[in-house]
């Protein structure tokens, strides 16, 4: 599930605003309850209702907020992904590399390239290994590959991979216009 919001159609804008109104109402309830305000439930509901109503009245304002929110989500995703990769590299790979894994932090001037042989044609779509028959989700295939190839330690990377996938944004999928592959 991507962290960014879907393309802003009318239904998505209203849905986004409903979520924001609900969250605001919930926060208001908590604050009011903490301040000892009586009827905090009713106050929260009224606030949420009024907020939702304002959005329906001024849908253009939601569109602007939607864009800003999406931009913030994209920025967050970029920073979080970078931090995640760093943690993964310096914490997991360092420790596993000490135990002799080929996937490790490289010493200076040492290449980590591994010579590979040609893969079977049915593995082209998934280059790390042949996908398990009847299983489409990449995570199951990944676990299967780790088990079959004697790299069970790589299961530990799965939560990181899933988080990286969750931090995926549409922006990272765009390619430079001038890209040209010679083949």
Partner 1 sequence: MLFSMVETSNRRNAVRGALALFSSLLGLILIIPIAALGLPFWIAALGTRFIARLLEPQIVAWQSIVDYDPTLGWKPKANVDVHCCTEEVFHVTTGADGWRGRLGVAESSIVVLGDSFAFGYGVSDVEMFAGLVPNARVKAIGAPGYNLVQELLVLRQLSSELAGKLVVWFVFLGNDLGDNLYPYMQIYRTPFLRRVDHTGNWKIETSHLSPKTRPYRFGKWHEQITREMLADLCSSTYLSERAYSACEFLIREAQQLCQRQRALLCVLTIPDPAQLSPEGRARLQACSSDPGSFDAALPDRWISEICSKLGVVFVAGQDHLRRDDFRQLDRHWTDKGHQRIAELLEELYRCHGKQAQAADDLNSCTRQTTTGG
HSE-up of residue 120 (Cα within 13 Å, Cβ side): 5
Specify whether the backbone of 28 is left (phi greater than 0), alpha (psi in -120 to 50) or beta: alpha
9 part of the interface to partner 1, by CB under 8 A: yes
CA nearest to 77, candidates 161, 174, 167, 170: 167
Chain residues 13-52 in contact with partner 1, contact rule CB under 8 A: 14-16, 18-20, 22-23
Q: Helices 59-87 & 158-166, crossing angle to 10 degrees? A: 150
142 part of the interface to partner 1, by CB under 8 A: no
1 part of the interface to partner 1, by CB under 8 A: yes
Chain residues 54-93 in contact with partner 1, contact rule CB under 8 A: 69, 72-73, 76-77, 80, 83-84, 87-88, 91-92
Q: For residue 162, count other CB atoms closer than 10 A to its CB.
A: 13
Binding stretches for partner 1 (CB under 8 A): 1-7, 9-12, 14-16, 18-20, 22-23, 69, 72-73, 76-77, 80, 83-84, 87-88, 91-92, 94-96, 98-101, 150, 152-157, 159-160, 163, 166-167, 175, 177
């Amino acid at each position: 599930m991507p962290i960014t919001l879907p393309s802003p159609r009318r239904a998505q804008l209203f849905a986004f605003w409903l979520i924001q109104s609900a969250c605001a109402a919930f926060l208001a309830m908590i604050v009011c309850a903490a301040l000892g305000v009586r009827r905090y439930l009713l106050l929260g509901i009224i606030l949420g209702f009024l907020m939702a109503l304002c959005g329906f009245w001024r849908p253009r304002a939601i569109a602007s907020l939607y864009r800003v929110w999406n931009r913030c989500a994209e920025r967050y995703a970029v920073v979080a992904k970078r931090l995640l990769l760093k943690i993964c590299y310096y914490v997991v790979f360092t420790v596993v590399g000490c135990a002799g894994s080929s996937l490790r932090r490289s010493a200076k001037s040492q290449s980590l390239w591994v010579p590979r042989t040609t893969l079977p044609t049915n593995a082209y779509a998934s280059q790390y290994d042949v996908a398990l028959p009847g299983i489409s989700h990449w995570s199951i295939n990944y676990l299967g590959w780790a088990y079959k190839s004697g790299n069970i330690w790589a299961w530990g990377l799965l939560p990181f991979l899933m988080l990286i996938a969750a931090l995926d944004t549409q922006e990272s999928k765009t390619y430079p216009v001038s890209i040209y592959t010679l083949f």
